[in-house]
Amino acid sequence: MHSFPPLTAAVTTELAVGGPVHYLAVWRLEVVVTTAVDSAWERIQRASAPESVPLYVPAFSLIRPVVQRLGVSLTEAQPSLELSSGLAAGAGPRPALVDADAGPDVGEGLDALGGPDFGTFSPVVVGRKDAQLLAHFVYLAVESHEAHDLQSVDYELETVGEELVFIPAVWDPRCIHESNWRLLLREFDGLVA
């Protein structure tokens, strides 16, 4: 296992928090994308200007709907994260990259009742190199999220930087569009209220 010096995002939601707070590992990738002028990516960039637009790849799961839904949601919302370096004291074991040979349950992270079976901090099952590959999947999901017809997407995507961020969330099966996670960031308050 390899340890990372992670960043932790603060809880910024203005809504009541029910249930234990977990922190989900997510890669925040700085990317350079060359694409059509009328693409969803270009609209996100214009809305976020002059700030750079990171692309988010969930690192706590390899399950396709989780990577797609949370990656697209975070990338489209472009949350303003209040980051702190490191983890809270007494928060449990330091997150580490989980060995890919650990077994078939790696990345599922659910107990018998459907809730997360990890502690406060999720495991990291997607490393840097894999996150760079999954960035293409998330990017294409962002582009197809607004498309009404299937079409080809001509683009180039290059990762120029990355950081591992732990985003606060609570397990809530009612948040089906975020793979049962309610992200505790103010940008997602409208999805709950």
Quick one: average pLDDT of 124-131? 94
Quick one: average pLDDT of 90-107? 46
Mean pLDDT of the chain: 82
pLDDT value of position 105: 43
Share of the chain above pLDDT 70, in %: 77
Quick one: average pLDDT of 107-120? 62
pLDDT value of position 114: 54
pLDDT value of position 184: 94
pLDDT band at 98 (very low <50, low <70, confident <90, very high): low
Is 155:139 a contact under the CB 8 Å cutoff? yes
pLDDT value of position 150: 59
* β pairing state of 7-9 and 22-34: unpaired
pLDDT value of position 89: 42
pLDDT value of position 119: 84
pLDDT band at 149 (very low <50, low <70, confident <90, very high): low
Quick one: average pLDDT of 69-96? 75
Phi-psi region of 158 (alpha: psi -120 to 50; beta: other; left: phi over 0): beta
State both tokens at 141. Answer: 């999901």
pLDDT band at 115 (very low <50, low <70, confident <90, very high): low
State both tokens at 114. Answer: 């459907």
Residue 3: is its pLDDT beyond 70? no
Residue 86: is its pLDDT beyond 70? no
pLDDT value of position 87: 58
Quick one: average pLDDT of 147-174? 86
Instruction: Kindly write down the DSSP assignment for every residue of 96-152, as one continuous string.
Output: BBPPGGG-TTTTT-B-TTSSB-S-SB--B-S-HHHHHHHHHHHHHHHHHHH-SS---
pLDDT value of position 107: 44
Residue 138: is its pLDDT beyond 80? yes
